[in-house]
A = this chain, B = another copy of it.
Amino acid sequence: MTSKAIFYHAGCPVCIDAEQNLAHSLDPARYQLEIVHLGEQKQRVPEAIAIGVKSVPALQLGGEVYHINYGASIQDLV
C-alpha cells in the first residue's frame, strides 16, 4: 500500500530541479506522488499554508513538510 506525497512548487528553476531530481526519486512502491504547481493552482495555496508550507519547493511526506532549498516564499504566491 502506498501513502501520498505532495510536492508543491511554483515553476521556478530551483523547483523544477528539485522535482526532477528529488521528488521523482521517491520509492514508487511506497509513495504516490502528486505534483502541485501553486502558480497555476492558486486555489490550493490555502491548503499548502494550512499544512505548514512556508516556501517552495516543499514536499509533504508522512505528515511532515520538508522545505527543499529555496525557490520562493509561499506569501509571494497568495
Residues of A bordering B, CB below 8 Å: 5, 17-18, 21-22, 25-31, 59, 61-62, 64, 66-69
Count of chain copies: 2
- Out of B17, B27, B59, B69, which one reaches A27, CB within 8 Å? B27
**A22, A29, A61 — which one has the most chain B CB atoms within 10 A of its CB?**
A22
Contacting pair A67 B66 (CB below 8 A): no
Instruction: Name the 8 nearest CB pairs between A and B, nearest first.
Output: A27-B27, A21-B62, A66-B68, A25-B26, A22-B66, A67-B69, A21-B64, A68-B68
**A27, A30, A61, A62 — which one has the most chain B CB atoms within 10 A of its CB?**
A27
Task: Return 6 A-B CB contacts under 8 Å, by A number.
Answer: A22-B59, A25-B31, A26-B26, A27-B28, A67-B68, A68-B68
